[in-house]
Chain A
Amino acid sequence: MKYLRRMAMALLAVIYLAALLAGWLAPAGYARQFRDSPAAKPSALFWLGTDELGRDSLARLLHGSRVSLSLAPAAAALATVIGAAAGISAGIWGGWIDTGLARVMDLFLSVPWLFLLLSVRAVLPLNVRPLESLGITFLLLGLLGWAGPARVLRSAAREITGEDFMIQARARGCSRVHLLTHHLLPNLAPVLAAQFWMSIPIFILSEANLGFLGLGVSQPLPSWGNLLAGLQNVDAVVSCPWRLAPLALLLVVMACFHLIVPMEDFSK
């Protein structure tokens, strides 16, 4: 397992590094249309060929990766923080706070995300730059995606609160803040980390789903969502296998899942 995790770390590091070096690796830029070279094959000039409008596919892949890999962790962090605040509060205090927060979590989990995102997208101002629009999309994903982590953290917090060491700490007169920062949070760290790593691919895939429907990032900014949408033409992909490059998304998703550290490893 450790070997796989190291592999996953290395893979993510390579993809992140390539994304950061996008401007150097693919100087043509992701938006420029070389209209005399549409759907070109890989060449010295365009390592992964071009798309139907003559845009450098490598540049679009790397910039798309940069965008998705920067904003998805940010959204995951936001969702985890909100989820932790709600879940731990519910777990520690119990009673009506727990009941109230649990109902809110249920409500958020039952909301059809896609339709909600479509509705929110429809009421946003129109003159939003592509990058801002992408930021808003991920912000919405983060704000809407906290309920899942919250429910897990609520259960974990309730379990830890009932442990002997917590009862002893309370008996010794530790304040709630001390209990939270010195006993509860350190023990919840593996769960928090797992929720964070799990949320990243979920948000990347959510953005990809929106992009697939044409409702994700606006032109000309690339993202994994709109790059994957280009794979709909199966015949074109079969005849031009280099177009499968956006499937690097799968590797990232798998890598993120492999980075979820089991509880026993964490305690070591």
Chain B
Amino acid sequence: MKIRWACFALGLLVAPSPRAARLPEPAPGGELRFCLHAEPKNFNPLMVSEEPDEMIQYLTGAVLIRINRQTQIFEPELAESWQVVDGGRKIEFTLREEVRFSDGVPLTPADVLFSLRSVVDPALHSPAGEPFRGGKGSITVSQTGSHRILMSLPSPTAGVERLFDQVPITSARAIEKSERPDDMPVLGPYRIASYRSGSALLLTRNPFYWKKDQAGRRLPYIDSVRLSIQQNRDLELARFLRGDIHLIDGMDAESFDRVAEKRPNEARDAGRSLESEQLWFNQVARAPIPEYRKEWFRSRQFRRAIAQAINRADLARLVYRSHAAPAIGPVSPANLSWFNARLRVPTFDPDASLMSLKAAGFSLAGGTLRDRQGHAVEFSVITNAGNKSRERLASMIQQDLARIGIRLNVVTLDFGSLIERITRTFDYESCLLGMVNVDLDPSGEMNVWLSSASSHPWNPAQASPETPWEAEIDRLMRAQAVETAFTRRRALFDRVQEIIVEEAPVLVLVDKNSLSAVSASLGNVAPVVLHPQTFWNIDRIYFRGGTGR
């Protein structure tokens, strides 16, 4: 009897608890497969510039500070800690010890010095160093202790930490071997095992990856990642539905609904993303368009009336099958730190729109809106050909504006011609295009909102601000770029957002949702709005049962 009781007690100790039985234990093993949408061009971590290269860099590389894609908060990676000092002029990192490259060689402060100096070297033109090269003066990087590295910037830089999310840490030895990627030592969760041009890339687990899970097991859980090079998104979808691949990022609403219909638990809508669709009017003084039209486009009342006449809710519902939401302002609510929550979606009210147009001197007669001089209000909108969603958006805006007597001519152009018109010849009246905010921080948008910027959509590269409100935006943007206190920066950027909504130089129409497809065989996948949407926590993703299907 005693023995039986003893066995029973032992059984209680050994048997997993009911809760533990319900939660699948991350089991190592398996091969994760998904697609790259273009051929990788560069395996040198310092020279990464295009999306496929960035994806590979994310999977194989390491940085000092990482923005957690879910919480949007900075997290220590190779830097155990950091400190911003001297009002944002300096940042000092304390490096993590016992970090090794994938060939077993330890990471040294000299490697970090090499990486940081290379990135900021103007002669190298590293894309990762671009944000550092904006200011005047030189940047210095030095070692201040056995595991301490100090970077000194020529001027205060607000939110300087965010820049290091894109700065790869590597070594001179690794760069030398980047021509033979399967031989290149890396610090990320995976290393490149083989690359067949035009076909696939195989990544295998980095045996010396520094991260471990709570149970002390070395990450990542999945043994290998196979990246097929597949440009055709329809084929990618077909492969997912067949079970050939496990993940799809950045889906369009139509494809997403196909997955949702066939495999409801594998379609993941992460809500509003940082991608929006925008309409703006050409306000370039030397644009080859009639003067009276330029006057319309320069009129705040005209632009606001157009904003009021467009039914954003219908755009989101019909064009994006409700996988989008009417946009509130230039910053999406998906940007948790910088969205101005005081702003509201512009109300759809064609009657109010018409009233304000009448107040501005326009008149409606016989179904046609006319300006003071009697010109019928008619203008064109250009957009890129082949983008069905954008063509549908334009068609719906056309009908909305027809209600207030405005004729909108939709012109679809090949992308090259469109870019030529909006950046060089300025031979267009309005333009409908998408915008993606890749940087959460407002300083990353200086190239859009400053009147002198070449990407300032409605009137780029102004010698000096042509309107008082653009001068105000310039002032606020420059002030926030050197302000280190978050609350003060936030107040400045909130005002920028308010001015853009008030003046309506850009009508932000809809914020698209972040849509992805994730195989049910994967555990710990939590799609987010930031890139990479599905595998941002690649080292913690696992196959339920330990192997891929």
Stretch of B10-18, B189-197, B385-393 at the chain-chain interface: B385-393
Chain B residues closer than 8 Å to A121, beta-carbon distance: 413
Contact partner, B318, options A32, A35, A130, A215, Cβ 8 Å: A35
Contact with A along B404-422 (1 / 0, CB 8 A): 0000011111100100000
Contact with B along A40-57 (1 / 0, CB 8 A): 000000000000111000
Q: Are B395 and A53 in contact (CB under 8 A)?
A: yes
Q: Are B395 and A126 in contact (CB under 8 A)?
A: no
Q: Decide yes or no: A219 and B318 within 8 Å by CB, A118-B414, A127-B379 being known contacts.
A: no
Q: How far is the CA of A127 from the CA of B314 in the complex (A)?
A: 26
Chain A residues closer than 8 Å to B395, beta-carbon distance: 33, 53, 219-220
* Chain B residue with Cβ nearest A32: B399
Contact with A along B25-68 (1 / 0, CB 8 A): 00000000000000000000000000000000000000000000
Chain B, 241-291, CB within 8 A of any chain A CB: 254, 258, 261
Q: Decide yes or no: A218 and B409 within 8 Å by CB, A127-B378, A235-B258 being known contacts.
A: yes
Q: Are A122 and B414 in contact (CB under 8 A)?
A: yes
B393 to chain A, nearest CB (A): 10
Most chain B C-beta atoms within 10 Å of own C-beta, residue among A32, A122, A229: A122
Q: Decide yes or no: A33 and B413 within 8 Å by CB, A214-B386, A215-B385 being known contacts.
A: no
A83 to chain B, nearest CB (A): 29
A226 to chain B, nearest CB (A): 8
Q: Are A126 and B380 in contact (CB under 8 A)?
A: yes
Q: Are B428 and A126 in contact (CB under 8 A)?
A: yes
* Chain B residue with Cβ nearest A215: B385
Q: How far is the CA of A31 from the CA of B398 in the complex (A)?
A: 10
A183 to chain B, nearest CB (A): 49
Q: Are B258 and A214 in contact (CB under 8 A)?
A: no
Q: Are B417 and A122 in contact (CB under 8 A)?
A: yes
* Chain A residue with Cβ nearest B258: A235
Q: Are A33 and B396 in contact (CB under 8 A)?
A: yes
Q: Are A215 and B412 in contact (CB under 8 A)?
A: yes
Asked whether any CB of chain A lies closer than 8 Å to the CB of B184, the reply is: no
Chain B residues closer than 8 Å to A32, beta-carbon distance: 399
Asked whether any CB of chain A lies closer than 8 Å to the CB of B506, the reply is: no
Asked whether any CB of chain A lies closer than 8 Å to the CB of B382, the reply is: yes
Contact with B along A121-139 (1 / 0, CB 8 A): 1100011111000000000
Number of chain B interface residues as a range: 20 to 34
Q: Are B429 and A38 in contact (CB under 8 A)?
A: no
Chain B residues closer than 8 Å to A245, beta-carbon distance: none
Contact partner, B413, options A122, A129, A130, Cβ 8 Å: A122
Asked whether any CB of chain A lies closer than 8 Å to the CB of B394, the reply is: yes
Contact partner, A38, options B318, B394, B413, Cβ 8 Å: B318
Number of A residues, CB within 8 Å of B: 27
Q: How far is the CA of A33 from the CA of B434 in the complex (A)?
A: 24
Chain B residues closer than 8 Å to A232, beta-carbon distance: 388
A208 to chain B, nearest CB (A): 14
Q: How far is the CA of A38 from the CA of B428 in the complex (A)?
A: 31
Q: How far is the CA of A38 from the CA of B379 in the complex (A)?
A: 27
Q: Are A233 and B411 in contact (CB under 8 A)?
A: no
A206 to chain B, nearest CB (A): 16
Asked whether any CB of chain B lies closer than 8 Å to the CB of A17, the reply is: no
Asked whether any CB of chain B lies closer than 8 Å to the CB of A213, the reply is: yes
Q: Are A213 and B386 in contact (CB under 8 A)?
A: yes
B287 to chain A, nearest CB (A): 12
Q: Are B398 and A35 in contact (CB under 8 A)?
A: no
Contact with A along B400-444 (1 / 0, CB 8 A): 000000000111111001000000000111000000000000000
Q: How far is the CA of A128 from the CA of B429 in the complex (A)?
A: 13
Q: Are B318 and A214 in contact (CB under 8 A)?
A: no
Q: How far is the CA of A219 from the CA of B318 in the complex (A)?
A: 16
Q: How far is the CA of A122 from the CA of B398 in the complex (A)?
A: 21
* Chain B residue with Cβ nearest A220: B395
Chain B, 304-340, CB within 8 A of any chain A CB: 314, 317-319
Chain B residues closer than 8 Å to A35, beta-carbon distance: 314, 317-318
Q: Are B382 and A126 in contact (CB under 8 A)?
A: yes
Most chain B C-beta atoms within 10 Å of own C-beta, residue among A213, A218, A219: A219
* Chain B residue with Cβ nearest A221: B410
B13 to chain A, nearest CB (A): 54
Chain A residues closer than 8 Å to B413, beta-carbon distance: 121-122, 215
Q: How far is the CA of A236 from the CA of B258 in the complex (A)?
A: 9
Chain A residues closer than 8 Å to B387, beta-carbon distance: 214
A119 to chain B, nearest CB (A): 8
Contact with B along A182-219 (1 / 0, CB 8 A): 00000000000000000000000000000001110011
Chain A residues closer than 8 Å to B254, beta-carbon distance: 233, 236
B290 to chain A, nearest CB (A): 10
Chain A residues closer than 8 Å to B394, beta-carbon distance: 219
Contact partner, A214, options B378, B380, B391, B409, Cβ 8 Å: B391
Q: Decide yes or no: A127 and B409 within 8 Å by CB, A54-B318, A215-B385, A233-B254 being known contacts.
A: yes
Q: List 9 A-B contacts (CB under 8 A).
A: A33-B399, A54-B318, A126-B382, A127-B378, A127-B429, A128-B409, A215-B412, A218-B410, A218-B412
6 shortest interchain CB distances as A-B pairs: A214-B385, A122-B417, A126-B380, A219-B395, A214-B386, A219-B410
With A52-B392, A53-B395 given, name 5 new contacts (CB 8 A): A33-B395, A53-B318, A122-B417, A127-B429, A214-B391
